[in-house]
Structure 1
Amino acid sequence: MPPSPEPQPYRSMADQPAARYSQRTPSPSSWQQGPAPAAQQNAQPYPAQPYPAQRPLVIGGAPSSPGAKPRRPFRRRRGCQIGCLGTLLLFIVLGGLFIVTMQKVLAFGSAISTQSPLSTQTGYMNTSDRVNILIMGYGGAGHDGAFLTDSLVVMSLLPQSHKTTLLSVPRDLWVQYPPSSGNYTKINAIYTNASNGNANPIAGGDAIAQKVSLVTGLDVKYWMSINFAGFRKFIDAIGGVDVTVPDAFTARYPKNDDPAINASWITVHFSKGPMHMDGATAIVYARARYVLDNNAEGSDFARSQRQQLIMKAALSKLKDWHTWPSIYGALDALKQTMYSNLSLADLTQFALKMDLNNAHRLGLSNDNVLADSTSNDGQSILLPRNNDWQAIVNYVKQGLYN
C-alpha cells in the first residue's frame, strides 16, 4: 500500500494570491527548495486548506455547518411572542365573559322558575308527546285588577315536528271555582284568588292550569305568568320590537293603565303595516280593548292575537345576534316579569322548537262555541252554547289534529 502523502503546509488567505501565481509561473529558485523545515510542519499538523471557493460566503451570521438550520431573527421571535400573548389574553377575556354570563343566566333561571335552571321535566323537549304551556299575562301592582289574567294563551307544541298551535281562552269565560263549590267566577280571576294576590304564584299557576285543562281537554301541566309592567321594561331593554299591524284601529286607553289611579284617557291609533314599537307602545297595542272604529279589534280574541304578535316579535328579536350585547339588561328586566314551573333549560328548548311563523291559531269565542250572557250580578260573561262544555273540547281537538 503506497504511503499517504505528507501534509502540505498551511497557507493563509494572505498567501493565496502568491501561491496561485507561483503555480502558474514557477520560479527557478523554487525548484531548489527542499522540504519545509520540520518545525514549520509540526506547527501546522493538518492538511492545507484550499481557498473556500467551494462554500458560499453568507453575510449575516450564516452557520458554517451545511446541515444546521438558520437562526431566526430576534424580531420575528418577538412578534411571535406578542401574538401568542395576545391570543392568550383573548382567551382569558372570553373565558371570563363566558363565566360571568353563565353565572347571570343561571341566577336568572333560578329567579324565574320553580325548578333548577338545568333540570328538565320534558327530556329537554325530546319527547314525542305534545307539550302544552299556559301563558298568562296580568297588569301587575299599581293597576286596576292587578293580578287578573286578562291574557290566557295555551301554546301547544309537538317538539319532533315543531308544529305549533296557539289557543286563546277568553278572560270572561264563566267557570266554577273552586271546583265542585257551586260558586262561579270569570276564569281570569282564578289566578289572583288562588295565589292570594300573587303571594303564592305556584298555587295560582297550578289552579288556572288545571281549570284550562278541564275546559279545553288538553293536558296543561306547565304555565308561565307575565307581568305586563315588567314586559314593557323588557321590550325597551332589547331596543323595541318590529310588528306588522294586520288591521288599523283607534281606541281609548287609560292614561296610566288604571282609571282608578288616573281617570284621564288618551286616544291611540295604529295604522296597518310595519311599525317599530317601544315598550309602552307595545303594551298599549297588546291591551287596548275600547276600540272606536273597528269592532273586530275590540274582542278578546283580537287582543289575544295582538299579544301573540308582540311575543313573537320579542322572541325573534332575542334570536338576533345584534340583540346579544343588551342581554344582561333584558335578563334583569325579565327577572321581574315572568315566573314558570318549567326550568330555564326546558323553556329555552320550547322557544327554539316553536314555529311561530307557521303557527296554527285557534280561539274560543262567540263566533264558534261560546255565547254572550250576563251573570246574576250583572257581569258580561261568556258561556258554552247550550251549556255544552264537551263542544269546547271537541272544537279544540278538531283544531289541533285536523
Structure 2
Amino acid sequence: MNKNNHIIVFEHEILRIDRGEKRLSETQLKSLHQFYGESGVPYYSLVHNGVKFCEYVGVLKVGDTLIEILPKIDRSITASEESWRKVLIDMLHAVGLFQLKAPTSGSLKLKTNSILDLYFELFVSELKYLLRQGLVKKYRKSEGNSTSLKGNLKFSKHINQNLVHQERFYIQYTTYETNHQLHCILYKALKLLVHINTNESIQGSLKSLELDFPEMPDIKVSEATFNKVVLNRKTQGYEKAIQIARLLLLNYHPDVSRGSNHILALMFDMNLLWEQFVYASLRRHKKIETTIAAQNTKNFWKPTAGYNSRMKPDIVLNKGKENCVVLDTKWKNIKNYNPSPEDLRQMFAYMKYYKAKKVALVYPGVNNSLSYGHYYDHLNAHDDKLGVEECSVISLAYNTNVKEWQKDINSQIEKWA
C-alpha cells in the first residue's frame, strides 16, 4: 500500500484537513461526515474541520485510503506504531478472534500493514483450504423446461407453457451442486476483496481464487442472512471463512452519492477487548481450584411493572464462596487520579450483592500498582467514620510481549486476591 494512502493514528487523536502532520482530504472528511450521519457512530466524533477518534481501534478504509487507529495506554510511552499494532493483533488473538482451524493459518506471517490486511490474508487462506478440501455440495430443488422427462412433471405449468412445444417438459428436479447459500456468501465476500484490496502481496491470490471459485449468483446479505446460517458436520470447516465474510460484508458501506469513497469499518471497542483480554489471561493461568465467570448477571431492582434491572460485573472469581472477588475492568490510565464516583458506587453494590470478600477496578498502566480506599460506614453515616468495606485499584503494567503480559496479569491478581 502507498504510504500516502495509509494514515496511522492512536486512539483519542484528531485528524483535520487544515493542520497537523497527518491530514484528511476534504473528500475524505465529507465521506466520514456522511458515514457519521444524524445518529452518529461510536468510532469517532466530529470536530471543527476534522474528526476525533474515541476508544475504538482498528481500521477505517475510506476509498483507497486506510486510516489505522491503534491503542496506546499513555502518550509518554515511546513504543513504535509497529509494536502497538502487534499488541492489538496479539490481544485479538488471545481472546479468540484469530483462532482459525484451517492448517494454512499456522503458516501465516502476521507482519501485515494493518489489521485489515490480516483479515484479508486469513480469508484468502481459508478459501484456499476449502477449495483444496473440495467444496461441499448440497441438494437443490429446481424447476423449468427440459427436453427430457426427469423428476416430477409440473402438469399445470407444462400445459400452460408447452401446449405448442410437445418436445419440452416442465419439470421439478433435484440437483446436487455447489450453488448454495454458503458459497454465495463467500463468493460475494471474495468479489468485495477483489474490488477494494490494495495489498499487492495477496492480489495474485485473490485473482486466482476468483478464477477457481465457481461463479455464484449475487445475493443481498444482512444480519438476518448470517443469523440463519446453520453449519453441520460437513460444513463445519466453513465457520471461520463465514465469520470473516460476515465481518467484511456487514461493515462495508458503499458511497452511494459519489461512488468512489466507500467505507469499510473494522473497529474494536478497547473497553470490551480489555475486559475479554483480562478474563482470557486469568482463565489461561488460573489455579485449578479457582472458578471464573465473565459477565455474570444478578437481578438488582424490580419495578411494579416491566422488566427487572440487572447488574453485570465484568469478572467474578470463586462466585458463591467465602473467597469470592469481583473485578471490573476499565480501559484507561487513571495515573494517580481517583476512580469516578459512579465506578466506586458500582463496586460497592457488587460487593454487597455478591457477598464478595474483595472488589477491584482493573486498569492498564505503565507500571504495576495497587492502592485501595475504604467506604464510609453506611450504617452510621452521620458519624463520618470509615467502614470495613474497601475497593482496590489495580494498575497492570503493559507489555508488548502479550504472552508475558497475560502471565503477569494473573500473577498480580492472584497476589491481590
TM-score, normalising length: structure 2:
0.19
Q: Which protein is richer in strand relative to its size?
A: 2
> Which structure's relative contact order is higher, taking Cα pairs within 8 Å and 6+ residues apart?
1
Query: Whose helix proportion is higher, 1 or 2?
Result: 1
TM-score (norm 1): 0.19
